[in-house]
Structure 1
Amino acid sequence: MKLKERVLHSFIFEIFAILITIIFLNFVSKSAMETKVGVSLIISLAAVSWNFIFNLMFDKIFTGERIKRGFGVRVLHASLFELGFLLFTVPFVAFAMDTSFVAAFFINIGITLIILVFAIVYNWVYDRVRLFFVDK
Structure 2
Amino acid sequence: MRSTADRIRQALSFEFIGIVIVTPLFAWVFDHPIGDMGALVVLGATAATMWNYIFNLVFDHVLNWRRRDVRKTMPLRIVHAVLFEATLLVLLLPLFAWWLGVPLIASLVMEISFAVFYMGYAFVFTWGYDTLFPPQRTARTA
Alignment TM-score, normalising by the size of structure 2: 0.67
Q: Deviations over 1:56-76 (max 9, x none)?
A: 8899xx7x81437xx8xx95x
Deviation at 1:31, TM superposition (A): 2.1
Q: How do 1:1-136 and structure 2 match up within 5 A?
A: 1-52=2-53, 65-67=65-67, 79=83, 82-130=85-133
Give the conservation status (yes or no) of the 8 Å contact 1:47–1:85.
yes
Q: Distance in 2 between matches of 1:121 and 1:85?
A: 18
Q: Distance in 1 between matches of 2:32 and 2:128?
A: 33
Note the residue ranges of structure 1 that are not aligned, 5 or more in a row. 132-136
Please identify which structure carries the higher helix content. 1
Distance 1:32 1:47, change over 3 A: same
Alignment TM-score, normalising by the size of structure 1: 0.69
Q: Distance in 2 between matches of 1:4 and 1:45?
A: 17
Q: Distance in 1 between matches of 2:55 and 2:10?
A: 19
Deviation at 1:55, TM superposition (A): 7.0
Deviation at 1:52, TM superposition (A): 4.8
2:119 aligns to what SS in structure 1?
helix
Percent identity, aligned pairs only?
25
Distance 1:27 1:83, change over 3 A: same
Map of 1:134 onto structure 2: none
Q: Distance in 2 between matches of 1:57 and 1:20?
A: 27
Superposition CA RMSD, Å: 3.5
Q: Distance in 2 between matches of 1:17 and 1:39?
A: 13
| Larger deviation, residues 20-29 vs 108-117 | 20-29
The one-letter amino acid of 1:126's match is Y
